[in-house]
């Protein structure tokens, strides 16, 4: 099933037109009108409204709609890491308006993904190790990886697409002063000193920094975020704490989005979609076992 995401400046106007053209794509929520649909889109789950199991030119597709402003916030701050996580993997951008803020946010999201991955990797590692870590960021704590997704999904994304990941991240790695990138060997070395890790921690998106602070700062200490990050930079468990911070972002947002999907897709489509996911998970388990 092809997965599309439409970024729109005015979701109410977009849904209004789409309801007229594609009424059957929507669940029972369509009777509530474009304003209510937009409220559900923006205020619940991960800020995206999905219509799924749609036949288009003899292909099965699903498409999500997200407002430009909410997408930019997620790309910069990782509020939910839902669509931002998808955009850390190779995707095909079909069309894009000249939006300087959006382009800058897309680039920042990729740099943030590299930084977070560095903090959870050893001093020396392969390109595949890096790309696997990046591809897995938005699945950390995702309910669907417990029930409904093939457990080998991350590797299935990375292994056939090493060249696409390299194209997406190559310039960022080459321009990063903390990295020795041995392109011919496909190996990287990074600065794991406390100073190096502190620099990386300061470059993380704000929501992840705050979640790390919440984990590290005991009640009554009342330290600021920078103090907490400085302490973490000297902690041998730094990578584990960063991972816990990602869990704290992804787990609630994926749960809320999955719950929202029952209503936006409708009960029948939700059951069909869930059964397909479980079938894929079962096939992946059999492949791994045998």
Q: Which domain holds residue 282?
A: 2-287
Distance of CA 39 to the CA centre of its chain: 22
Extract the runs of DSSP E, i.e. beta strands, from the chain: 2-8, 48-56, 59-67, 124-126, 179-182, 187-190
Residue 51 and residue 284: Cα distance in Å, rounded? Answer: 26
pLDDT at position 285 is 45
State how many domains the chain has. 1
Question: Would you say residue 144 has pLDDT above 60?
Answer: no
pLDDT at position 273 is 52
Determine whether 185 is exposed, middle or buried from the number of CB atoms within 10 Å of its CB (0-12, 13-18, 19+).
exposed
Cβ atoms within 10 Å, residue 40: 16
Residue 12 and residue 35: Cα distance in Å, rounded? Answer: 6
Q: What is the mean pLDDT of the chain?
A: 89
Q: Which two tokens stand for residue 79?
A: 């509020």
204 contacts 112 by C-beta, under 8 angstroms: yes
Question: Would you say residue 280 has pLDDT above 60?
Answer: no
pLDDT at position 269 is 61
pLDDT at position 151 is 55
pLDDT at position 140 is 82
Residue 124 and residue 237: Cα distance in Å, rounded? Answer: 17
DSSP for 151-186, please give it.
TTHHHHHHGGGHHHHHHHHHHHHHH-TTEEEETTTT
Global pTM value: 0.88
Half-sphere exposure of 232 (CA within 13 A, CB side): 32
3-state secondary structure of 48: strand
Question: Please, which contacts does 101-107 make with residues 24 or more away whose CB atoms are closer than 8 Å?
Answer: 101/72, 102/7, 102/68, 102/71, 102/72, 102/75, 105/71, 105/72, 105/75, 105/76, 106/75
């Amino acid at each position: 099933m092809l997965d599309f995401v439409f970024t729109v400046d005015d979701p109410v106007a977009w849904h209004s037109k789409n309801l007229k053209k594609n009424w059957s794509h929507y669940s029972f929520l369509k009777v509530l009108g474009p304003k209510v649909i937009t409220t559900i889109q923006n205020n619940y789950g991960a800020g995206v409204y999905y219509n799924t199991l749609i036949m288009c030119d003899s292909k099965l597709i699903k498409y999500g709609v997200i407002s430009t402003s909410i997408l930019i916030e997620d790309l910069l701050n990782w509020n939910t890491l839902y669509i931002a996580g998808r955009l850390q993997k190779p995707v095909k951008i079909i069309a894009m308006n000249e939006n300087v803020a959006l382009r800058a946010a897309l680039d920042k999201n990729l740099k943030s993904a590299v930084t977070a991955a560095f903090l959870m990797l050893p001093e020396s590692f392969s390109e595949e190790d890096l790309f696997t870590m990046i591809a897995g960021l938005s699945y950390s704590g995702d309910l669907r990886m417990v029930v409904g997704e093939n457990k080998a999904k991350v590797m299935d994304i990375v292994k056939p697409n090493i060249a696409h990941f390299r194209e997406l991240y190559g310039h960022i790695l080459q321009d990063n002063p903390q990295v020795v990138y041995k392109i011919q060997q496909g190996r990287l070395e990074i600065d794991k000193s406390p100073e190096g890790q502190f620099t990386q921690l300061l470059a993380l998106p704000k929501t992840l920094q705050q979640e790390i602070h919440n984990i590290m700062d005991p009640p009554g200490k009342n330290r600021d975020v920078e103090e907490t990050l400085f302490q973490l930079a000297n902690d041998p468990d730094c990578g584990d704490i960063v991972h816990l911070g990602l869990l704290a972002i992804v787990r609630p947002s994926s749960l809320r989005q999955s719950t929202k999907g029952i209503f936006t897709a409708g009960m029948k489509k939700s059951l069909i979609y869930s059964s397909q996911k479980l079938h894929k998970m079962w096939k992946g388990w059999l492949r791994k076992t045998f």
